[in-house]
Amino acid sequence: MIDVRNLTRRYGPTVAVDALSFDVRPGVVTGFLGPNGSGKSTTMRLILGLDRPDAGQARIGGRRYRDLAWPLREVGALLEAKAFHPGRSARAHLAALAAGNAIPRARVDEVLDMVGLTGAAGRRAGKFSLGMGQRLGMAAALLGDPAVLMFDEPVNGLDPEGVRWIRNLLKSLAAQGRTVFVSSHLISEMALTAERLVVIGRGRLLADTTVAELSAGAESLEDAFFRLTSDEIEYRGAPS
């Protein structure tokens, strides 16, 4: 479980995350939605201890990320595609992560097979396409067989078959009782993947609800989302 309470982060005069509180529970896929610049990526970085909050706290299983004894075996995360040394092969990248977290070497080949990279395991990762980089990032997140998983825009660069694969994978991980937290700008995809939604705007919580409840009375989840975030979109400016 992920527990966020009054989380706040400022960058100079800009409040990126503003007293944000929510829970991400195990057993369901929780989607994280908000307009561009609403604070989604910053929130995930704060949960993972990559940025330090100005106020509030984030806990994973009741502990701060930095207090976890074996982080990769407790939390798997993909925040950025191609977060690896370009000169290493996919297998070497995962093997290094496994060695640093006391994960059996056999697990490397297991996750390469899970994400469909067995045939490319010996290739230099720097030559991977964006979609293949996303798959390698997913493999790294799954390497420690963690109970908590966080993904920031995991379908970027994937073709329709890859998007469907991610959707089914996330659902299967949640069905195993894991905590699955995923951000996406593809609202229609979240309608097919998530059961619960956390929606933010200007770093503040706008909704913590189910997909069905948010969509009730609207033609689609997209319509419900744009209605809920219309003030934020107007504040940021309409997309060009």
Residue range 159-212, pLDDT digits in tens = 888 899 999 999 999 999 999 999 988 888 899 999 999 999 999 999 999 999
**pLDDT reported for residue 188:** 87
Region label for 163, one of left (φ > 0), alpha (ψ between -120 and 50) or beta (otherwise)? alpha
User: How would you write 131-161 as a 3-class SS string?
Assistant: HHHHHHHHHHHHCCCCCEEEEECCCCCCCHH
As a whole number, the mean pLDDT across the chain is 91
Q: How far is CA 190 from the centre of its chain?
A: 12
- Among residues 150, 225, 231, the alpha carbon closest in space to that of 185 is found at 225
pLDDT surpasses 80 at 236: no
Coil vs helix vs strand at 121: coil
- The domains found in the chain, sorted by start residue, are 1-58+148-157+177-240 (3.40.50.300)
CB of 131 closer than 8 Å to CB of 155: no
Residue range 87-121, pLDDT digits in tens = 999 999 999 999 999 999 999 999 999 999 999 99
Residue range 12-62, pLDDT digits in tens = 999 999 999 999 999 999 999 998 889 999 999 999 999 999 999 999 999
**Model confidence at 150, in pLDDT bands (50, 70, 90)?**
very high
Residue range 64-87, pLDDT digits in tens = 999 999 999 999 999 987 788 889
Coil vs helix vs strand at 49: coil
